[in-house]
Amino acid sequence: MYASRISRLTGSVAREILSHANNKDIISFAGGLPGPEAFEGLEVSIEGTGSFQYGPSEGDQRLRACFAKRFQEKGIDCDYSQVLITSGAQQGIDLVSKLFIEPGTHVVLEKPTYLAALQCFALFGASFESISLNADGLDVDELDEVLGSKDIRFVYLSPSFQNPSGICYKLEKRKAIAEVLDRHEAVLIEDDPYSELNYAGVATDPICSFLKRAQWVYLSTVSKILAPGLRLGCLACSEAFFPYLLKLKQASDLHSNRLSEAIVLNWLEDEAMMQARISELRSIYRAKRDVMAESLDRHFTGLADWDIPKGGLFFWLRLKSTASIRDLLQCTLERGVAFMRGDPFFPQSEIGAGYLRLNFSNPPIESIDSGLKTLGEEIRLMFPVLEKSN
């Protein structure tokens, strides 16, 4: 009765957890949600009635030009004719999957990687080649070896404050990866939702901006800098890809949310207002990140290892025990704390045993310490050997 790919269909672990975490009595470190305070004073306005009508599938031309200008400032060689407005960056991932993947197609991923991309690629039948992430980014030698030994359809990377690891590739690593991609003429899908949330001023130049021969798709969104409820993102791409991605979008939704397009256009055209907005978010989230870092030192020293992220929304913890933590969430939910376990971020879930992703943007700043205290206590109860080792 159903298409064969339905056997590969999986639910979103993050969404399932959030269905519990939406309880106001839960301290949630689970999702990648903006903090409620990020929406205070956020004004939206729409001029005229044009935005209530059907519109072009590719999106409002003025909005596409705004995005193109932002991408050009990042060093990406594109103009508005290469920009496609999407329903969040997630629709871009779906369109890319439809364009490139068929059962057995080999794609390269980071290890770990964004779980919703993993879910989408798997649905269309991709076969995964996962490459290790080091503190400064993807292992370049491993990438070179994989591209030289297998027929790879594309390489999917999120080099700026990656979800879930929080890693930001060093500038030298970005250039080295671009050289490898150019040498093998491999397609790059670059996902960049977090680069504006930069708390340390580190380089976030897109890898796309360094490519000379390889073709590319660059995914972006306003969910992290304006509001995820707008469900508005976009992609820019090599000219050869655009006609196909546009037709795939037409087959999906005809056009994007024109009301959201109008709201976002008003913000992006006011550069001073947009910069003030981003600066405010950086200040809010940096403060929350620092509180979480201090609380982790208090409650997780000896239990796990982690680095302080220079941007983005997440801490990525590796417990000193590699035993499964599948039962841990139920215990913490009973005590009013939610978190995201690490195994869904790996194609081979067993590799992710012992990892946790903790979001710092959404919980109230005054609740972070008590939530981590509870989480640490439950981990010690589940793994008493860790308590003895301390």
Query: pLDDT tens digit string along 231-289?
Result: 999 999 999 999 999 999 999 998 889 999 999 999 999 999 999 999 999 999 999 99
- Which pLDDT does position 168 carry in this prediction? 98
Strands (E), 135-245: 137-138, 152-157, 188-191, 216-221, 233-237
- What's the CATH number where 309 sits? 3.90.1150.10
Q: Are residues 123 and 61 in the same domain?
A: yes
Q: Are residues 17 and 28 in the same domain?
A: yes
- Which pLDDT does position 322 carry in this prediction? 67
Q: Are residues 214 and 87 in the same domain?
A: yes
Q: Are residues 307 and 175 in the same domain?
A: no
Domain count, the chain: 2
In a domain, 48, yes or no: no
DSSP character string of 205-219: --GGGG-SSS-EEEE
Higher per-residue confidence, 347 vs 20:
347
Q: Does the pLDDT value for residue 387 go beyond 60?
A: no
Element (H, E) at 383: none
Q: For 110-169, what is each residue's pLDDT tens digit?
A: 999 999 999 999 999 999 999 999 999 999 999 999 999 999 999 999 999 999 999 999
Mean of the pLDDT values across residues 368-390?
81
**Structural domain containing residue 296:** 4-39+274-389
Please identify, among 253, 271, 289, the residue that sits at the C-terminal boundary of a domain.
Answer: 271
- Which pLDDT does position 2 carry in this prediction? 63
Q: Are residues 278 and 266 in the same domain?
A: no
pLDDT averaged over every residue in the chain:
92
Q: Are residues 28 and 64 in the same domain?
A: no
Q: For 56-67, what is each residue's pLDDT tens digit?
A: 999 999 999 999
Q: Kindly indicate the confidence band of residue 329, based on its pLDDT and cuts at 50, 70 and 90.
A: confident
Q: For 202-228, what is each residue's pLDDT tens digit?
A: 999 999 999 999 999 999 999 999 999
In a domain, 47, yes or no: no
Q: Alpha-carbon distance 180 to 199, whole Å?
A: 29
Q: DSSP assignment, residue 280?
A: H
Nearest of 100, 107, 198 to residue 157 by alpha carbon: 107
Q: Kindly indicate the confidence band of residue 22, based on its pLDDT and cuts at 50, 70 and 90.
A: low
In a domain, 165, yes or no: yes
Q: Are residues 254 and 291 in the same domain?
A: no
